[in-house]
Each structure stands twice: as structure tokens, then as C-alpha cells.
Amino acid sequence: MPKINRYTDISEIDKEAKRDYIDRHSPFITVLGEAKKGETLQVNVKMGQEYTHPDDFDHFIESITLYDGDTKLATTTFLPGTFGNEKSHAEVTFTIRPMKKKLNLIAHGYCTKHGIWESTPVVVEVAE
């Protein structure tokens, strides 16, 4: 099993020293709208907030996967050159349908050179 890099596991010193490296590999989750049971909800996952990631043949973001706890909800894959071989933010908006009272959303982004990176969990309360 590949190592999963977590933002919370990185020391404060390393976070500052490697800020661009960490940012461009970290997935960030944004929930668009209010979660209501049985209704569709859009969840955006973006790789990096401030810094863009390479899109080279041997170094690119290959996939983004969204989980609710241990349950895989959705995944998307990218091919090298998807972003014109320019540094970019790999980004996807998933549409899900929450059916329980709370979601514990976690995203994984897979860099072909630096492995799997995990987002900070986002807890979403679901209205009835």
C-alpha cells in the first residue's frame, strides 16, 4: 500500500519550509450549497490553493477520489497533458446524494511522482 501523505502529519517547520510543495499536492474540499437528505449536493475538490502542480508526462495529478469516511463515493482520473502541459490546479466537482445525517468527507489526490495526498476532513451536517 502506498504511503498516504497527510497535511496534519507534517511538522510546523516543514509546513513553512515546504509550503509550495505541500500546497500543490494537497486536495482542498469545498461543499457547494446546503446538504439535504436525498437531494444532490456538489462537492468540489481542488489540488492546491495557492500553488499549481506540473502537468508533465512523468509528473502529474493522476486522480482525485472522494470518500465519506471509509466509503468511496467518486473518483476521476486525468491523463498527462489534460491541462496542456502547463502548471495548473487539477479540479473536479462531484455530485453526490447524502442519505444520512452527517458526512465525513475526505479527498485523496494521487501525484505520479509524490504519491497519495489526503485532505483535511470536512464534516457536513445533512438537513432532513
Q: Does domain 4-125 have CATH number 2.60.40.730?
A: yes
Structure confidence by residue, pLDDT tens digits, 57-115: 999 999 999 999 999 999 999 999 999 999 999 999 999 999 999 999 999 999 999 99
Q: What is the DSSP string of 29-70?
A: EEEES--BTTS-EEEEEEE-SSS-B--BTTBSEEEEEEEETT
Domain boundaries, the chain: 4-125
Of 42, 52, 29, residue with least CA distance to 105: 29
Model pLDDT for residues 20-66, shown as the tens digit of each residue = 888 899 999 999 999 999 999 999 999 999 999 999 999 999 999 99
pTM of the model: 0.90
